[in-house]
Amino acid sequence: MTELSAQRRYAEDAAVVLSGLGLPPAYGKLLGWLLVCDPPWQTSSQLAEGLGLSKGSVSTGMRLLETSGLARRVPVPGHRGHAYEVRPDAIIRIAADATKFRAFRELMEHGLAVVGGEDAPGTERLRVMRDFYAFIEREVPKLVERFEAEYTGKGDGDG
């Protein structure tokens, strides 16, 4: 049994959780590692070595993390290239984006069209879902705003 650092084990745990959402394991490992590493920014080689992943996997995985808004590049003074870090506000940026729900609402609207419209009989299930997703789409951004307001009001800034 190889000795795994606590950080490394954490990365594996994160991979398991994220896999549950249908995401690639490498994506979860990278995110988990970036959440607990010290310092909080890491170069590609550090990530590859730390997690036992190939350069290619790190490159692909980090692009995914970047485009999904969870990570960003930061310059490293005495180093060629860049490092990555998790954006402190990552979760807020992602949660506030309600376009995820739009796909579902549209699917339900499309469904209503298929069955013959709003008033066709036996369409309750579709209407409830459509209305629910529309509601969520409207309310989630508000909810996130409320979090931001309450949060920055309470305790601000890191150590």
**Contacting residues toward a copy of itself, per CB under 8 A:** 6-7, 10, 13-14, 17, 20-23, 32, 35-36, 38-40, 86-92, 95, 103-104, 107-108, 110-111, 114-115, 119-126, 128-129, 131-133, 135-136, 139, 143, 147, 150-151, 158-159
**DSSP character at residue 69:** T
Helix residue spans in the chain (DSSP H): 6-19, 25-36, 44-51, 55-67, 90-96, 99-115, 124-154
- Helices 6-19 and 44-51 cross at an angle (nearest 10°) of 90
Interface residue list for DNA (CB under 7 A): 19, 23-27, 43-45, 52-57, 59-63, 79-82
Q: How far is the CB of 151 from a copy of itself (least distance, A)?
A: 6
Beta bridge partner(s), residue 72: 85
Residue closer to a copy of itself (CB basis): 83 or 126: 126
In the bound state with DNA, the residue whose beta carbon lies nearer, of 23 and 134, is 23
User: Rounded distance, CA 68 to CA 24, Å?
Assistant: 13
The interface partner of residue 56, options being DNA, a copy of itself, none and the CB cut-off 5 to 8 Å by kind, is DNA
Task: Report, in Å, the least distance between residue 136 CB and a copy of itself.
Answer: 8
Q: What does 45 bind: DNA, a copy of itself, none (CB cut-off 5 to 8 Å by kind)?
A: DNA
> Of 53 and 71, which has the nearer Cβ to a copy of itself?
71
CA 28 to chain CA centroid, Å, is 10
Q: Using CA atoms, how far apart are residues 30 and 58, in angstroms rounded to an integer? A: 8
Residue 53: contacted member of DNA, a copy of itself, none (CB under 5 to 8 Å, by partner type): DNA
Bridge partners, 82 (sequence order)? 75
CA distance 42 to 35: 11
